[in-house]
Amino acid sequence: MKDVFVPELTGTLAVVTGASDGIGLGLAVRLARAGAELVLPVRNPVKGAAAVARIRAAVPGAAVSVPELDLASLASVASLAQTLTAEGRPVNIMVNNAGVMTPPTRHTTADGLELQFGTNHIGHVALVGRLLPLLRAGRARVTTMSSSAARTGRIDWDDLQSERRYSPIRSYGLSKLANLHFGLELDRRSRAGGWGITSNVAHPGTTLTNLYAAGPNLGRTRPAPHAAIMKRLARWGVFVQTVDAGLLPALYAATSPHARGGAFYGPDGFGQFTGGPTELAVYRAARDESDAARVWDVSQRLARVEFDAG
């Protein structure tokens, strides 16, 4: 598979969420190899320390910090943003990668939001909003990770929090469609407001990561079959790719001088399951700019941020 050329990034600061394992960790290694200084906010400090060790084993002397962040808590987001703002370092690259996928029963964040919508989408909206001055100062490239699940996702305006009816896959698709709307709308708002931020969206295809164990096993007494099925498909080389392949669309979107703002990147293979990075047509569900504007407004309110004041 064709690799992604990453330009020299010495002197740049990159913030990557969800980098304690999987695609986020793989992205962090690639960014460190190109010379970027890394801020990798993590929920679990033990996993964060292990990630730093793996990065420095691959890139001796890499500059890495792992402040605590729980995207399922707006107070935690505000605390991290306050710390980074006090440090005052412009942010040049931001990858909104962390997430939770398809817990079998409905869970909520510390702020009462449905866990997938609150973590995958609202937590990142809050973080980007609170870091907006640093992103503007760094003329940042912001890449938000969506999913092919956004293709069949639907925004249920009367039940955003899945309180009336919870379906793991439906709620995940909603959160990933909201990610796609947000990433595209952020670029439109930046261009209209002269913010200097370039925003795009990527998805990793079907990539074997810990997501297939962590989310589906949440609240279960017996292991869900998802991870075992994914590992079997990966061994067979069918519809599943490795982390090193799955990270390439996001890496291209976040670093390539040829990657555009307002664009959507993912695998070029059959069904977008696997393949090399390419620019994709935006899914039909995310083409209505009035829906995107509505997602933007609702998300600001739920995330307790005001972008236009940034």
Query: What mean pLDDT comes out for the span 256-260?
Result: 98
Out of 166, 172, 252, 283, the active site residue is: 172
pLDDT band at residue 128 using 50, 70 and 90 as cut-offs: very high
Q: What tens digit of pLDDT does each residue of 92-127 get?
A: 999 999 999 999 999 999 999 999 999 999 999 999
- Angle 22-33/45-58 helices, nearest 10 degrees? 40
Q: What tens digit of pLDDT does each residue of 28-41 get?
A: 999 999 999 999 99
Residue 172 annotated as catalytic: yes
Could you give the CA distance from residue 257 to residue 132 in angstroms, rounded to a whole number?
22
Could you give the CA distance from residue 4 to residue 277 in angstroms, rounded to a whole number?
8
Mapped onto helix, strand or coil, the DSSP state of residue 103 is coil
**Reduced DSSP (H G I as helix, E B as strand, rest coil) percent helix, strand, coil of the chain, to 5:** 45, 10, 40
- How would you label 246-285 residue by residue, b for 16+ Cβ within 10 Å and e otherwise? bbbbbbbbbbbeebebbbbbbbbbeebbbbbbebbebbeb
The whole-model pTM stands at 0.91
Could you give the CA distance from residue 14 to residue 45 in angstroms, rounded to a whole number?
19
What pLDDT is stored for residue 240 in this prediction? Answer: 77
